[in-house]
Amino acid sequence: MAKSVLIVEDDPDTLEVFKQIVESTGFEVKLADSGERAFELLSVNHFDAMVLDIMLPRVDGFELARRVKADPKTSNIVIIAVTALDIPNILEKCRAAGATELLLKPFEPKALVNLLHKYIG
């Protein structure tokens, strides 16, 4: 059975690019364009990993990551945070929220593929 990845990104073009990158590696992919939609999908699907944009409207990626890690049903999901927010201590802030890794936008597609393979095969 293929590993499953939830991609959470509010920009439609970036969401499509991420989808193509992740699907090309053989992973199953579900898409969410908001934190709220991600919660809906998390409640009815199993995911091995999440590619999570930090700068989301309403429920941001930090809050989503905290909630995912706090719920015993989803706490083992590998979270790869992605953001263009290049501020001091961003990696530490993402890890404190529950992210396993951080990719700063723009990044090479291979970097995302490598992290997915590293953590979920």
Q: What is the mean pLDDT of residues 7-12?
A: 97
- CB contact at 8 A, 52 and 18: no
pTM score, two decimals?
A: 0.96
Backbone angles phi, psi at 50, to 5 degrees: -135, 130
User: Per residue in 58-116, pLDDT tens?
Assistant: 999 999 999 999 999 999 999 999 999 888 999 999 999 999 999 999 999 999 999 99
The mean pLDDT of the chain is 96
What does the domain layout of the chain look like in residue ranges?
Answer: 4-120
What fold does the segment set 4-120 form as a domain?
Rossmann fold (3.40.50)
pLDDT higher than threshold 90 for residue 1: no
